């Protein structure tokens, strides 16, 4: 589905943010990208989504392909039409618009009214609180509800690949656990996910594959559960020793997903 090969990205022609990164997002999988601040995670998403140039970034070499089509020269609208949709860090909903208006904005790229109605039904089924507050302005929602809305707005475009940039940022631990379950359900319904996260426990709990970025380079990669057991990941990202068992998301482990509610 998504293939990144030997990617080098700079800002202002001087600052190297991504250095020779290669990775794959197979169709139907959840892939997590871990790393600290400044590791190059957000730059990676900007490159995929077509927003890199808006931040004065440039691909110096390498390629980013989606189903074999090169993404490097495409703008954000084109990538959305191809089926790649990003949920940005910090949610960035339209605070003055209502919940329903935010969702309608997410589906503006489609002229298929039936498809948009189906997508909205999917969002309201996944996030019942959004339906209850459909007439409420986005700015009046709690942080967790705003994250629901940001994800729901992206789902309105019926993405084939959902790009999530730090969805747990600034949220309570209880809500972070629910995010993992929601990501697993989105994937179960047929949408692939590229998850950029600092919260390694949640990310590795829901992902099939994982990559660790360190100063713009891939330092570790492999099966998410296997990576979670490595000494380096345990020490740097999970904060405990490798002999402690890892718990996976309820949805990944086969338990019934309870809908995300505040």
Give 10-residue mean pLDDT values along the chain (262 residues).
Answer: 96 90 97 91 94 92 95 90 89 88 86 86 92 92 89 93 91 84 93 93 94 93 91 72 42 38 44
Predicted TM-score of the model (pTM): 0.85
What pLDDT score does 252 carry?
40
User: What is the helix (H) or strand (E) element at residue 6, kind and residue range?
Assistant: strand 2-11
Determine the pLDDT at residue 246: 42
Q: Which long-range contacts (CB under 8 A, 24 or more apart) does 147-151 make?
A: 147/91, 147/171, 147/175, 147/179, 148/260, 149/91, 149/93, 149/99, 149/102, 149/103, 150/87, 150/88, 150/91, 150/92, 150/93, 151/87, 151/127, 151/182, 151/186
Q: What is the reported pLDDT for 256? A: 31
In a domain? residue 107: yes
| CA pair distance 220, 222, nearest whole angstrom | 7
pLDDT of residue 249: 44
The CATH number of the domain holding residue 178 is 3.40.50.300
8 Å CB contact between 216 and 47: no
Same domain, 114 and 76: no
Q: Residue 239 has what pLDDT?
A: 57
**222 touches 209 (CB < 8 A):** yes
Let me know whether 137 and 164 are in one domain. Answer: no
pLDDT of residue 255: 34
67 belongs to a structural domain: no
Is residue 79 located within the same domain as residue 182?
yes
Q: 76 and 191 in one domain?
A: yes
- Residue 108 belongs to domain spanning: 89-157
Cα separations (Å) of 195 from 25, 112, 177?
10, 28, 14
| Residue 90 burial (CB count, 10 A) | 12
Domain end (from 110, 140, 157): 157
Are 139 and 190 in the same domain? no
What was the pLDDT predicted at 66? 96
Based on the domain organization, do 102 and 136 belong to the same domain? yes
Res 18: pLDDT:
96
């Amino acid at each position: 589905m998504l293939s990144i090969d030997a990617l080098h990205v700079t800002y202002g022609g001087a600052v190297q943010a991504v250095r020779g990164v290669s990775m794959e997002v197979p169709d139907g999988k959840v892939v997590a990208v871990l790393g600290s601040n400044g590791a190059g995670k957000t730059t990676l998403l900007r490159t995929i989504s077509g927003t890199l140039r808006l931040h004065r970034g440039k691909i110096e070499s390498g390629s980013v392909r989606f189903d074999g089509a090169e993404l490097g020269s495409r703008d954000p609208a084109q990538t959305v039409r191809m089926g790649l949709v990003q949920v940005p860090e910090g949610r960035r909903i339209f605070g003055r618009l209502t919940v329903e208006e935010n969702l309608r904005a997410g589906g503006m790229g489609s002229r298929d009214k039936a498809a948009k109605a189906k997508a909205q039904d999917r969002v309201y089924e996944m996030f019942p609180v959004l339906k209850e507050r459909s007439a409420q302005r986005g700015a009046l929602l709690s942080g967790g509800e705003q994250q629901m809305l940001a994800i729901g707005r992206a789902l309105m475009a019926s993405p084939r690949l959902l790009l999530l940039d730090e969805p747990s940022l600034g949220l309570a631990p209880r809500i972070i656990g629910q995010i993992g379950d929601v990501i697993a359900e989105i994937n179960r319904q047929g949408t692939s996910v590229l998850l950029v996260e600092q919260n390694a426990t949640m990310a590795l709990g829901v992902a099939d594959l994982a990559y660790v970025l360190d100063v713009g380079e891939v330092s570790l990669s492999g099966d998410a559960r296997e990576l979670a057991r490595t000494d380096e990941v345990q020490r740097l990202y999970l904060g405990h020793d490798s002999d402690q068992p890892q718990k996976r998301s309820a949805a990944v482990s086969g338990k019934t997903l309870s809908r995300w509610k505040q």
